[in-house]
Structure 1
Amino acid sequence: MDWPRDLTGWPLAEQSSRIACRPHRWHVQQMGDGPVILLIHGAGGATHSWRDVMPLLAKQARVIALDLPGQGFTQAGTRARSGMMQTAEDIAALCAQEGWQPTAIVGHSAGAAVALRLSQIVLSPRGQAPDVVGINPALDKFDGIAGWLFPVLAKALALNPLTPLLFTLGGASDRRTRQLIERTGSTLTDEGYRLYSRLMGDRGHVGGTLQMMASWQLDALIADLPGITARCLFLAGETDSAVPVKVAQRAGASIPGAVVETLPDLGHLAHEEAPDLVAGRILSFVNSGQSDSVSRNA
């Protein structure tokens, strides 16, 4: 599928717009009024991941969700800016262009790493680092052989222009999609599986995801964790087999004042399994920060 991709049947498509901000053409969804909460999906995801969370947050905030470069409906302008730092810089440029000042940045999985780096670049309306909420934050390096093999493999796959086509020949069956997601410890609705199947059957999206994986480097961010000034909340799904709870606990222990909460009986896609619970925790955390700010300035 070539860009611009067809949004027919996509969750909250009526809230979608495409915004050009060099070097990318972003797909963005916006709804609600109030303090800005920016949502960043994980690798291989898209705005659909927030389909049930966004309306709940929008009752108290202006919520903005975007697709990462090359994924979902965002057209990447270059393959050279797929790394975590470059992605954060490009989102910061988009925020500056559009006048967005996030009070909070919510990131899922790899999106949490982008959120933390972004919190070091942009300022909230209070003139401080925005709050960061990480849902099953992928903030750890691979251990053992995967530490060197996985990045090399991802890079080789991403650099081969035929790879995305091979991944998507015949499309992605709902059964295969269901199996892949359930291996992460999550169980979704039929609609959830269908949406991920649609993404997995799109060679452009697959190519963008592989390019992101090939460019991913966390060493500098992990070294910087003790210097993070943002208020941080990490929500870790108890049954997540993709990013174990210990990853959030280890990262949280390195960030001053970070809070880590375990979500019982939820997996890697906890925000899709229990949107009411996750949205409630996000709003409670963000509102507590605003109350603290008012008290300090009174």
Structure 2
Amino acid sequence: MGAVETLTAWPHADHSRFVDVRPHRWHVQEMGQGETVLLLHGASGSTHSWRDVMTDLAKDHHVVAIDLPGHGQTKLGSRHRSSLPLMAQDAQALIDHEGWNIKAIIAHSAGAALGLRLLQTSGGTSPLVAVNPALSPFKGMAGVLFPIAARVVALSPIVAKMIKRRMSGPGQVVSLMETTGSKISPEGLNLYAKLFRSDAHLDGTLLMMAQWKLDGLVADLPRITVPCTFLIGENDKAVPPSSVKESAKRMPDATVLSYPGYGHLLHEEAPGLVADQLRAVLRK
């Protein structure tokens, strides 16, 4: 499957629309009324991961979820703008185009880095609620080899197709989800399987991994003053909980809340918990 827009029976498809803001064709989902909350997924994810959080929050908020460039149903307009600074620029251009007055951001994993950059560059004081935020670069040789490997794969259509075939098998999807430390529903597994069968989604994910560098953000953490609440699944096998706690210690206004028994996909395992934490943050 080439174009991700051919996905059928996608969660909240009746709330989807497409917005052309150069250089990308963005997939946006909106529902509810009230203060606007922006939802940002992580690398290899899409709006589907927020499906239950959206339904909950839409009871009393205007909820906006977007697919990041090259992910899900957002059509990548440039293969050279998947780095953190450029993706932040492009996401801000979308926000400005739509006139969204963002009162809070909920982000997952790598999406938390994007959320922090958006809040930092906008100069606002809106809070960030981050689920298992990935704010630390890989250490040692992994930090060198992983981006290189991703770049090689992204530039090799043959290798990318081999990986796609391997990832899209039912057994492989289950195995991959097990590496997150989370237990998600059969519906969730099926949605990830659909994503991993998409050439465009796989390509966008690999480009993001190849271009994603966090050194600048890590250096800026002590100067990022927006209120942050980090929700950690203690069973997260993808982002070590200890790394999240270390990042929070370097920030002026970051609180860490830990939840035993949950993994990297905490927002899919316990959507009501995440929605209620956002409400608690906005009541402060």
Deviation at 1:2, TM superposition (A): 3.6
Identity %: 47
Which residue number corresponds to residue 279 of structure 1?
275
Q: Distance in 2 between matches of 1:81 and 1:33?
A: 32
Is the Cα contact below 8 Å between 2:4 and 2:198 reproduced in 1? Answer: no
Which residue number corresponds to residue 183 of structure 2?
187
- So what's the TM-score if we normalise by structure 2? 0.97
Query: Equivalent residues in 2 for 1:41-52 (5 A)?
Result: 41-52=41-52
SS of corresponding position for 2:184: coil
Q: Distance in 2 between matches of 1:48 and 1:131?
A: 23
Deviation at 1:280, TM superposition (A): 0.8
Is 1:6 the counterpart of 2:2 in the alignment?
Answer: no
Amino acid at match of 1:103: K
Which residue number corresponds to residue 149 of structure 1?
145
Q: Distance in 2 between matches of 1:188 and 1:88?
A: 29
Is the Cα contact below 8 Å between 1:122 and 1:130 reproduced in 2? Answer: no
Which residue number corresponds to residue 251 of structure 1?
247
In structure 2, stretches of 5+ residues that fail to align are none
Deviation at 1:163, TM superposition (A): 3.0
Is the Cα contact below 8 Å between 1:137 and 1:247 reproduced in 2? Answer: no
SS of corresponding position for 1:129: coil
Which residue number corresponds to residue 87 of structure 1?
87
User: For 1:114-163, what per-residue CA distance to the aligned partner results, in whole angstroms no more than 9, with x for missing partners?
Assistant: 0000101235xxxx332111110001111222011111111111122333
Is the Cα contact below 8 Å between 2:4 and 2:72 reproduced in 1? Answer: no
Q: Distance in 1 between matches of 2:13 and 2:137?
A: 35
Q: Distance in 1 between matches of 2:213 and 2:245?
A: 20
Deviation at 1:284, TM superposition (A): 1.0
Task: Pick closer, same or farther for the CA change 1:171–1:250 going to 2, 3 Å.
Answer: closer
Deviation at 1:287, TM superposition (A): 2.4
Amino acid at match of 1:129: T
Is the Cα contact below 8 Å between 1:89 and 1:121 reproduced in 2? Answer: no
Q: Distance in 1 between matches of 2:158 and 2:219?
A: 36
* Structure of higher RCO (CA pairs closer than 8 Å, 6+ residues apart): 2
SS of corresponding position for 1:146: helix
Which residue number corresponds to residue 119 of structure 1?
119
Which residue number corresponds to residue 36 of structure 1?
36
Which residue number corresponds to residue 238 of structure 1?
234
Q: What RMSD in Å do the two structures reach over aligned CA positions?
A: 1.3
Amino acid at match of 2:133: P
Which residue number corresponds to residue 136 of structure 2?
140
Deviation at 1:202, TM superposition (A): 1.1
User: For 1:32-66, what per-residue CA distance to the aligned partner results, in whole angstroms no more than 9, with x for missing partners?
Assistant: 11111000000000000001000111112110000
Is the Cα contact below 8 Å between 1:107 and 1:135 reproduced in 2? Answer: yes
Q: Distance in 1 between matches of 2:6 and 2:111?
A: 24
Amino acid at match of 2:197: G
Which residue number corresponds to residue 221 of structure 1?
217
User: For 1:9-54, what per-residue CA distance to the aligned partner results, in whole angstroms no more than 9, with x for missing partners?
Assistant: 1001010000000000000100011111000000000000001000
Number of equivalent positions: 284
Which residue number corresponds to residue 266 of structure 1?
262
- So what's the TM-score if we normalise by structure 1? 0.92
Which residue number corresponds to residue 60 of structure 2?
60
Task: Pick closer, same or farther for the CA change 1:35–1:147 going to 2, 3 Å.
Answer: same
Deviation at 1:164, TM superposition (A): 2.6
Amino acid at match of 1:8: T
Deviation at 1:178, TM superposition (A): 1.0
Is the Cα contact below 8 Å between 2:222 and 2:252 reproduced in 1? Answer: yes
SS of corresponding position for 1:37: strand
